[in-house]
Amino acid sequence: MATSYESYEVRCGRRRISLKRASTPAEAVIDYLRSIGCSDEEMTRVGMDAITWRGAVYKAVPAHTPH
């Protein structure tokens, strides 16, 4: 079975900070955080689509979702 990828906006608060293609929202956030140098040990999952790092909450939503 082929993996399906969607476009996700990675947001910190209401601000869009990245656009990622991933199979899940969490994967999009993790990919973004790793790309800016965050290690897995520094990430804390706080929901199905949200991760904290250094006090900030990063969340991914489908790219077509309004603020």
Model-level pTM? 0.86
Looking at this protein, which amino acid is placed at residue 56? A
Closest listed residue to residue 25, CA positions, set 54, 1, 57: 57
Name every residue whose Cβ is closer than 8 Å to that of residue 24 and which is 6 or more positions away in sequence: 49
* pLDDT tens, position by position, 18-45: 999 999 999 999 999 999 999 999 999 9
Decide: residue 10, CB within 10 A, 0-12 exposed, 13-18 middle, 19+ buried. buried
Length of the chain: 67
| Per-residue pLDDT at 48 | 87
Q: Looking at residue 16, what DSSP letter applies?
A: E
